[in-house]
């Protein structure tokens, strides 16, 4: 994807210990004192000395708690994406173990998800704000036992008091954990009966979804192998090649991942590719390819035939596609770096492409399960800038589509101004494109999902990230009336050169 501030909803940067990820056994929730986990016994070998940044059984050592506060302070500056800041911190503190990194990331991302809620509770405590937030994040995600070695008696009493607060007594604004501007915009789209469940779903970690690479396997066989290897795996409800794994298992070293048989990709992202519905031998463009999650899915649907161009303005994002492409076994993908939506490489393909996917740069507010910092980093001003770019990119990409070809506009936003408003404005300005109902396209593929003329996915309804997609088809050009026959003239014959393809980057 092009200049999207969040990477990646298609799973390119997702890993087994993904920032903020945690298993279904440790869901974030309010916990009353009698529900704090006081029963865990330390049955592990003796922990390292307290001065080291390690877990001591189920307890944080003082040194690890200090790391929690320092990392939280860094992330709350919002000077960059949270996952990037977390990764930078881990590189600077390379001695932190795998388990400790997981605890730190889980705690920090829990606080980002529930920042308004925890901020209100923190007001009744004492001491530095980062310390109060860290204590709340740990108590609400890992139980009060986790802070036994680092909390003072007064802090334990305070945490127990907070645990007794009924969530229903908090205001709706605080319970949703959304900034004012975002709450107001979503309240215009969703009624109260849906807004709160939507916010609650956005404040939970996302599951780990995978896509089976059709070039190398099928879903039934892959499911059987994953289950035999001890994974809790189920078919995704809608995407025909998707698998959902319980918890956050580390897949990087699994043979199915190494061989390219599976790729991490949210089910919603997979469904976008079903709307593209590529056919063998076609010419297709993924206009904002990013790290190539959807590119690889489309290439597999094409059975590695035809030509599939992966355009992006970022060479760094395209570089992340290369190892994934090598694993995939595809030979029909051509990564192409462009300088903008008006690059000359695009002009040379005008009117020649069968299908174009525009997964446009957007606010990423549909991916808050994975990127909770975005709701605090985005603003009305940044959204307004994005809508201008989305309009320009969609208009430019439309020039590529040949008569009878398909154009798919998609975002991972929840805001109408980035979604239906862009689609409707495009349709009004381009009468040569007709809207194709998304529900009909999915029904033709026997996918039992009907969200109307647009694809509109929500985590509380569909257990996916929030996605939007509109599908257009370019009307066939009307045939011009035949001119009367004229006397033959002798003219110079010139050779018509085949259209020059964009220059692909080296693999």
User: How far is 223 from 242, CA to CA, in rounded Å?
Assistant: 10
Q: What is the DSSP letter of 32?
A: -
- 403: closest CA among 347, 342, 476? 476
Residues 263 and 323 sit within 8 Å (Cβ to Cβ): no
- In DSSP terms, 356 is beta-bridged to 285, 407
Residues 387 and 420 sit within 8 Å (Cβ to Cβ): no
- Burial pattern 113-147, b for ≥16 Cβ within 10 A else e, equals bbbbbbbebbeebeeebbbbbbbbbbbbbbbbbbb
User: How far is 401 from 393, CA to CA, in rounded Å?
Assistant: 13
User: How far is 1 from 291, CA to CA, in rounded Å?
Assistant: 7
Distances (CA, A) of 95 to 69, 101, 108, 183: 17, 10, 19, 41
Residue 58 labeled ligand binder: no
Q: Give the up-direction half-sphere exposure of residue 171: CA atoms within 13 A in the CB hemisphere.
A: 9
Phi/psi for 7 (5° steps) reads -130, 125
Q: Which residues contact 416 (CB under 8 A, 6 or more apart)?
A: 189
- 264: closest CA among 297, 231, 240? 297
Distance between alpha carbon 250 and the CA centroid of its chain, in Å?
A: 18
Distances (CA, A) of 484 to 303, 335, 477, 481, 488: 46, 47, 21, 9, 12
User: How far is 320 from 275, CA to CA, in rounded Å?
Assistant: 24
User: How far is 404 from 433, CA to CA, in rounded Å?
Assistant: 9
User: How far is 143 from 436, CA to CA, in rounded Å?
Assistant: 50
Burial (Cβ within 10 Å: 0-12, 13-18, ≥19) of residue 360: buried
User: How far is 104 from 38, CA to CA, in rounded Å?
Assistant: 21
Q: 3-state class of 188 per DSSP? A: helix
User: How far is 482 from 55, CA to CA, in rounded Å?
Assistant: 82
Q: 3-state class of 221 per DSSP? A: helix
Residue 286 labeled ligand binder: no
Q: What is the DSSP letter of 477?
A: P
Catalytic residue positions? 412
Q: What is the DSSP letter of 376?
A: H
Residue 312 labeled ligand binder: yes
Annotated binding site: 312, 339, 359
Annotated binding site for S-adenosyl-L-methionine: 312, 339, 359
């Amino acid at each position: 994807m092009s200049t999207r501030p969040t990477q990646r909803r298609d799973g390119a940067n997702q890993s087994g210990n993904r920032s903020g990820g945690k298993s279904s056994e440790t869901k974030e929730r309010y916990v009353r004192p009698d529900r704090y986990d006081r029963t865990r016994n330390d049955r592990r070998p003796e922990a390292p000395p307290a001065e080291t940044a390690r877990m001591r059984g189920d307890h944080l050592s003082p040194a690890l708690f200090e790391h929690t506060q320092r990392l939280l302070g860094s992330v709350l500056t919002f000077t960059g994406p949270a996952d990037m800041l977390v990764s930078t911190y881990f590189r600077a503190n390379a001695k932190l173990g795998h388990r400790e990194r997981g605890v730190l990331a889980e705690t920090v991302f829990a606080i980002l998800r529930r920042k308004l809620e925890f901020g209100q509770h923190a007001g009744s405590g004492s001491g530095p704000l980062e310390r109060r937030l860290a204590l709340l994040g740990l108590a609400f995600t890992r139980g009060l036992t986790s802070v036994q070695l680092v909390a003072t008696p007064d802090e334990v009493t305070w945490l127990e008091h907070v645990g007794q607060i009924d969530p229903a007594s908090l205001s709706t604004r605080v319970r949703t954990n959304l900034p004012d501007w975002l709450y107001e915009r979503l309240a215009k789209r969703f009624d109260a009966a849906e807004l709160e469940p939507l916010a609650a779903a956005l404040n939970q970690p996302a599951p780990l979804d995978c896509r089976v690479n059709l070039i190398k396997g099928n879903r039934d066989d892959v499911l059987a192998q994953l289950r035999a290897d001890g994974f809790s795996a189920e078919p995704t409800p809608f995407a025909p090649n998707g698998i959902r794994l319980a918890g956050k298992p580390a897949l990087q070293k699994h043979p199915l991942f190494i061989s390219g048989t599976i790729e991490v990709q949210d089910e919603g992202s997979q469904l976008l590719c079903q709307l593209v519905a590529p056919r063998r031998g076609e010419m297709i463009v993924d206009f904002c390819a990013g790290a190539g999650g959807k590119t690889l899915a489309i290439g597999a649907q094409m059975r590695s035939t035809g030509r599939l161009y992966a355009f992006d303005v970022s060479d760094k994002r395209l570089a992340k596609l290369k190892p994934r492409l090598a694993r995939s076994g595809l030979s029909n993908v051509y990564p192409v770096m462009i300088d903008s939506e008006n690059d000359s490489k695009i002009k040379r393909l005008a009117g020649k492409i069968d299908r174009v996917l525009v997964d446009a740069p957007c606010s990423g507010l549909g991916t808050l399960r994975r990127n909770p910092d975005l709701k605090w980093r985005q603003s009305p001003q940044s959204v307004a800038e994005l809508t201008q770019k989305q309009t320009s990119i969609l208009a430019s990409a439309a020039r590529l589509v040949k008569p009878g070809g398909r154009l798919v506009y998609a975002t991972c936003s929840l805001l109408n101004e980035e979604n239906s408003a862009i689609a409707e404005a495009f349709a009004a300005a381009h009468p040569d494109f007709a809207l194709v109902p998304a529900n009909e396209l999915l029904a033709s593929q026997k996918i039992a999902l009907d969200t109307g003329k647009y694809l509109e996915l929500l985590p509380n309804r569909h257990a996916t990230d929030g996605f939007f997609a509109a599908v257009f088809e370019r009307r066939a050009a009307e045939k011009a009336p035949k001119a009367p026959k004229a006397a033959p003239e002798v003219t110079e014959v010139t050779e018509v050169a085949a259209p020059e393809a964009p220059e692909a980057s080296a693999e």
